[in-house]
Amino acid sequence: MSIPYRHAGKIPLNQQAKPPVARDLGHCDAVLLILPETADKHVWSALPHGEFLAERARQRRAAAGTTRDWATELPNPRGTRVQAVYVKPGQSTFDQLSAARGWAKQLLDWKPARVGVYTAPGTAASALLEAAVLALLAASCPLPNRKSAAEPTCPLARIDCYGATEPLRFELLRAQVQGNHLARWLTQLPGNELRPGDYRKLATALAKQHGWQVEFLDRKSLSRRKAGAFLAVTQASHVDDGGLLRLSYRPKGRAAKPKLALVGKGICFDTGGVNLKSAKSMHGMHEDMEGSAVALGTLLALSLLKVDFAVDCWLALAENHIGPQGYKPNDVVTACNGTSIEIVHTDAEGRMVLADALALASREKPTLIIDYATLTGACVYALSTRYSGVFGNRDALLVILTEAGKHSGERVWPFPMDADFDAALKSDIADIKQCTLDSEADHILAARFLNRFVPQNIAWLHVDLSAGNHKGGLAHIPSDVTGFGVGLTVCALLEHGLLNAARDN
């Protein structure tokens, strides 16, 4: 099975400083005009067919009584389709990307091969151009489809950008889209096509393409390391394919830099175990591996950008099955760092596999660990699926991650991690309870549980992926599965200095 994540990397992107000329628009199948609300004659005079477009704008404004988006067709041999949109000043990155998602849908519904995007003076030109490019590329990425009648593929083959006030970051945009595409593609695969063994093969094939080092800790290896928390979840699996997959990127010919560890929950299907989920709750549980897909997509994006620091990516691959050997409430197991855990609810399996994954990742002494997991319903109840929750053991890093969320359009909100929450996880028989049977603050209790498996001398961030699936898409992403976290992490690391801050705090 091949992964088509390279699709976005094959579409040529071109930046032109000057406004387009008639020849440029004549070569385009579709054009997006991004205009200020107060577009005047100077805006139209800078464009080919300016008088024609100005007249269309006047007619639409007269018909609507106000300035509204409109579409038309140019009087040129190609019949170039034009979508004109108006933007308000001071929009947030999220609002820009959300608007761009709608623009991309309108343009791609016309099935264009070549698209031109023009931002007029008076707009946040470069930011809006980048938003449009991200949205067009994201919408053109194919996702798994098993319908007998194949849906037509997106013909987009070129994007030309006009009006930028500074160089556009095409390399960064491409890497981000490809990493996000990989995360979405993996997450949307049916559960019978992405079991832990299948996942390992796909990830290993990617490692060969990108020169990553590969290490796989199967159940025997995990048993030798006394990873009882991880192994408890895999007890009911009749196929011995679960384990911890470590993929390592190392920059070539560069001095050692701070090391980043990415850890992802990769539960390829979650029945809930002995505490079986209801049918409604179990539907969609093939997506319970999205945390691992985001970790892997982030590794891909950073590799494509050839970052100058080392990255380890730990994928906790397993399924939470039911069966006579399944782990049970009131069992006591011991994680590889020696912490004994009283099992309370077998559907809290994500924090179990992450416990050993975090402890083993910590043994490599990274500067920063970031873990991603579709972990708790409580975080969704608190934030909806518009934001994701973040937790950590360094307040300064939470501030940076929150700012990166605003700048990337992948918004996050920090939650408290005070030690007095631990009282709820006090066990009479073990070092800690896995969870409680109350619904109170489970997202915070889960983070406090995970905190036990990361030494305090290692900076750690936990992302509870509430926004991993949002109906209708989120920001520039058009699919319900969002791949949330790739753009956030890339922005935090490369634009906000997250790794260096972790080293200094």
Confidence (pLDDT) at 8: 80
* Alpha carbon distance 478, 490 (integer Å): 20
pLDDT of residue 152: 77
Domains and CATH numbers, the chain: 4-167 (3.40.220.10), 174-504 (3.40.630.10)
Task: Please give the helix or strand (H or E) that residue 451 lies within, else none.
Answer: helix 442-451
Per-residue pLDDT of the chain (505 residues; tens, 9 = 90+): 677 777 788 899 999 878 888 888 889 999 999 999 887 777 888 888 989 999 999 898 888 777 789 999 999 999 999 999 999 999 999 999 999 999 999 999 999 999 999 998 888 899 999 999 999 999 999 999 999 987 777 889 999 999 998 999 999 999 999 999 999 999 999 999 999 999 999 999 999 999 999 999 999 999 999 999 999 999 999 999 999 999 999 998 766 677 999 999 999 999 999 999 999 999 999 999 999 999 999 999 999 999 999 999 999 999 999 999 999 999 999 999 999 999 999 999 999 999 999 999 999 999 999 999 999 999 999 999 999 999 999 999 999 999 999 999 999 999 999 999 999 999 999 999 999 999 789 999 999 999 999 999 999 999 999 999 999 999 999 999 999 999 999 999 999 999 999 999 9
Residue 185's pLDDT is what? 97
* C-alpha pair distances (Å), 197 with each of 243, 323, 424: 9, 19, 37
Instruction: With H, G, I as helix, E, B as strand and everything else as coil, classify residue 178.
Output: helix
Q: Residue length, the chain? A: 505
pLDDT number for residue 44: 87
Query: Do the bridges between strand 412-414 and strand 388-392 make them parallel or antiparallel, or are there none, so unpaired?
Result: parallel
Contact residues for 283 (Cβ-Cβ < 8 A; gap 6+): none
Q: Is the dihedral of CA 296, 298, 301, 306 positive or negative?
A: negative
Angle, helix 290-304 to helix 486-494, in steps of 10 degrees? 40
pTM: 0.97
The three state secondary structure string of 208-241 is HHHCCEEEEECHHHHHHCCCHHHHHHHCCCCCCC
Q: Assess whether 277 carries a catalytic annotation.
A: yes
The active-site residue, picked from 351, 394, 411, 448, is 351
User: Is residue 174 within 8 Å of 130, Cβ to Cβ?
Assistant: no
CB atoms within 10 A of CB 152: 6
61 flagged as catalytic: no
Q: Considering the candidates 60, 105, 277, 406, report the single residue annotated as catalytic.
A: 277
Q: Do the bridges between strand 311-320 and strand 158-162 make them parallel or antiparallel, or are there none, so unpaired?
A: unpaired
pLDDT of residue 255: 62
What is the spatial distance between Cα 248 and Cα 244, in angstroms, rounded to a whole number?
Answer: 13
